[in-house]
A and B are shown apart, each in its own frame.
Chain A
Amino acid sequence: MLANTARIALKTRHAATLSRFYATGANGANTLLVVEHKDGKITGATLNALTAASKLGGEVTALVAGGDDAVAQAVAKCAGVNKVLTAADAAYSKNLPEDMAPLVAEIQKKYNFTHLFAGHTAVGKNVMPRVAALLDVAPVSDITAVEGEDTFVRPIYAGNAIATVKSSDPIKIVTVRGTAFEAAAAEGGNGAIEAAPEAAKANLTEWIGEEIQKSDRPDLATASRVISGGRGMKNGENFKLLYDLADKMGAAVGASRAAVDAGFVDNSLQVGQTGKIVAPELYIAVGISGAIQHLAGMKDSKTIVAINKDGDAPIFQVADYGLEADLFQAVPEMTEKL
């Protein structure tokens, strides 16, 4: 009852914005949010996806698969969640798409959601297109804005163009770029928890193991501060200068393709069109000229700093603060003064 009243209030509040939406039906949106969780915690990207789903204005039901009751209870408390479905079988705990996709498709057939949302993470990217194929729907990847119930904004060409797309499918399957939406509040909700319908297991794949990098530094894709090195670092050993500065600032370390191709650091650190896309609060580019492939991966950062001895380097055109200096002096000096 309380949830219903809240929903009506929400709808009234959104009436002005809804009028420019391409309405798909009198009842509005009814969304399933596929929750990603690991080690008993909801991943941040799920909370961003919840915010995106809430912009549709309708009800949000969250699916917690994998048998973690604590996660289901935490999700039920998130602001904007009306209901939580739990698929208790531990078979879902590794997010294997061969099992997850039939589960989501089965739930969809029972509840007839208008929208299926998830974060555009390694898990969301892996599972949601498979769900879409089972339901014969064209999914919309990596959205950065919700324009209406069937209209979404997404970057193409690694962020060098922004497309507004309209889906003609009856079900909208969407993955959400985490950095484009605020995280939903983890408190304030009061969703009911109920069991999801059973789905047959495919048993096509076996999960062998994982190697999670145990670094004290934050994950590159989600870090609020990132320090990247380029060809100007000259060799792999010199990256220690960046690690020292990163540790002082609680930053992740990245690299340009030139630094990766030259063998200074591992591929997994590459920021850019074919590497990782990051949008931290602070991005410090050290010894990076600023080729378009690199800019594609970091130009949505809030504040960009460039340290480069070539005053004409293109990176200075996008940098909020540019320091024209020898990095081998400037970086240790910064580390010392912080």
Chain B
Amino acid sequence: MSSALRIFVPVKRVIDFAVKVRVNPAKTDVDRNVKHSMNPFDEIAVEEAVRIKEKDPKTEVVAISCGSAKAQETLRTALAMGADRAVHVEVKDDSTLQPLAVAKLLQAFANKEEKKPDLFILGKQAIDDDSNQTGQMLAGLLNWPQTTFASKVDIENQSLKVTREIDGGLETISTKMPAIITTDLRLNEPRYASLPNIMKAKKKPLVKITPEDLGVDITPRLQTLKVEEPAKRQGGRKVENVDELLDKLKNEAKVL
């Protein structure tokens, strides 16, 4: 039997994927007064960590979220899915928290923990800022290998074989731990937390720390000058039949 793994899973609270976001009247941000939930790619990350734990129950899964007080809801969801404990890095205004700062917070946390992580499993991107940066930056800061956009993960002892989604197909990489994995949509189908597990999650440990505790400067490097609605499409024209459709595509839109 291999030695027990310790897996850190960073999760982010974002506007729910089914919500139609709207730009605020001041055009500085979107309206955040809407339903939030765990970033879908992070659910996949938690699920993967929990599946690893199910194969080897000695595995410890630690969920981490950087954000405002409400990030704790997201951490409770991760605990209800099967994470063992949670860490909340509390910041006042999570709308200005950027991937570089999050990567530095995670790096500082990993270095500070007495028991070092073997793996970080992150979502490939958050569906709010769509940056797709944090995992790669964390790997760079720690000088660990990175296996991004993972659709299959095989672990044996301290070795890792990951199949990655690349343009046009798949690629397989092998590496040693400690390492970073970022999840793609195909990796797994996340479970729903059952009611008993949601109740149990309320008793699991959740500690709160601050960026100051970790000694990390989270000043944003990117300033958002404005946020606008995308251009509206002029849709809505209907055609009568296939012949008219093909005629319009050939002669009007000239795309056939």
Contact = CB atoms under 8 A, between A and B. Distances in A.
B76 to A, nearest CB: 23
Contact of B230 (A159, A169, A293, A319): A159
Interface in B155-178: 161, 164-176
A14 B62 CA distance: 53
A155 to B, nearest CB: 7
A151 interface: yes
A142 B130 contact: yes
A23 B58 CA distance: 56
A221 B139 CA distance: 27
A140 B255 contact: no
A324 interface: yes
B253 interface: yes
A330 B176 CA distance: 53
Contacts of A131: 140
B235 A319 contact: yes
A50 interface: no
A157 B140 contact: no
A198 interface: no
Q: Mostly helix, strand, loop or mixed at chain B's interface? A: mixed
Interface string B98-114: 11100100000000000
Contacts of A122: 149, 164-167
A210 B169 contact: yes
A81 to B, nearest CB: 23
Nearest to B149: A122
Given A204-B145, A208-B173, A129 B167 contact: no
B225 A151 contact: yes
A161 B128 CA distance: 10
A132 to B, nearest CB: 6
Nearest to B135: A129
Interface string B217-234: 000111111111110011
A320 B245 contact: no
A171 to B, nearest CB: 11
A37 interface: no
B185 A270 contact: yes
Contacts of A282: 249, 253, 255-256
A43 B166 CA distance: 13
B91 to A, nearest CB: 16
Nearest to A101: B140
A210 B172 contact: yes
B174 A268 contact: no
Given A161-B230, A165-B223, A210 B41 contact: no
B249 A161 contact: no
A181 B17 CA distance: 28
B227 A163 contact: yes
Given A122-B166, A212-B169, A273 B127 contact: yes
B221 A162 contact: no
B127 A208 contact: no
A238 interface: no
A160 B169 contact: no
Interface stretch (B4-12, B192-200, B236-244): B236-244
Interface stretch (B18-26, B66-74, B82-90, B201-209): B18-26
A251 to B, nearest CB: 10
Contacts of A158: 127, 130
B129 interface: yes
A210 B171 contact: yes
Nearest to A206: B174
A128 B229 CA distance: 28
B223 A161 contact: no
Interface string A296-338: 0001001111000001000011111111110000100110011
Contact of B233 (A209, A299, A311): A299
B173 A205 contact: yes
Contact of A126 (B15, B20, B148, B229): B148
Interface of A: 43, 96-98, 101, 121-123, 125-134, 136-142, 151, 154-169, 202, 204-213, 219, 221-222, 225, 249, 266-268, 270, 273-275, 281-282, 292-293, 299, 302-305, 311, 316-325, 330, 333-334, 337-338
User: What 10 pairs across the A-B complex have the smallest Cβ distances?
Assistant: A133-B140, A138-B221, A129-B136, A129-B133, A133-B137, A212-B169, A130-B140, A204-B145, A208-B172, A318-B235
Given A129-B133, A132-B140, 10 more contacts: A122-B165, A133-B138, A157-B30, A157-B127, A166-B222, A207-B173, A209-B171, A219-B168, A302-B255, A338-B246
Interface of B: 15, 17-18, 20-21, 23, 30, 40-41, 98-100, 103, 127-134, 136-141, 143-149, 161, 164-176, 185-186, 220-230, 233-239, 241-243, 245-246, 248-249, 253, 255-256
13 contacts: A130-B139, A130-B140, A133-B137, A154-B130, A157-B30, A157-B130, A161-B230, A266-B186, A268-B165, A304-B235, A305-B245, A320-B233, A322-B237
